[in-house]
């Protein structure tokens, strides 16, 4: 298990460049935690291409992965799925999505980010 890795999903933007986004990260983190008790509403994050929307969600997923007690049965299991560039049929999409979900579930419950590697 890779103990040095501080992320479950790799972020691209360095901390020193990633500015003025903490408010969004905090909001979506709290919304996810509140969803456990169904105390949150739907939210949308809109922006032009290349404005950092995916980066915000990667950082939220990383916080959910590491800042919760992974042994708590009521913890929210974070799952990150990036749609592939190629068009998939329903069956292939369902298989890839289910495999991804199971990998994230196991990685979170075992606190082992190596499980997330697809290589």
User: For 29-71, what is each residue's pLDDT tens digit?
Assistant: 999 999 888 887 888 888 898 888 899 999 999 999 999 999 9
Verdict on whether the full-model pTM lies above 0.85: no
* CA dist 24 → 9, 88, 91, 118 (Å): 18, 31, 34, 29
Output Rg (C-alpha) for the chain, integer angstroms. Answer: 15
């Amino acid at each position: 298990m890779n103990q040095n890795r501080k992320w479950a999903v790799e972020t691209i933007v360095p901390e020193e460049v990633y500015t003025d986004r903490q408010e969004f990260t905090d909001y979506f983190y709290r919304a996810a935690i509140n969803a456990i008790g169904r105390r949150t509403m739907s939210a949308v994050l809109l922006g032009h291409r290349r404005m950092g929307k995916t980066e915000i969600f990667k950082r939220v997923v990383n916080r959910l992965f590491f800042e919760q007690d992974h042994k708590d049965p009521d913890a929210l299991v974070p799952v990150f799925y990036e749609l592939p560039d190629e068009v998939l049929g329903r069956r292939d999409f369902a298989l890839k999505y289910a495999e991804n979900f199971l990998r994230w579930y196991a990685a979170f419950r075992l606190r082992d980010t190596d499980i997330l590697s697809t290589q």
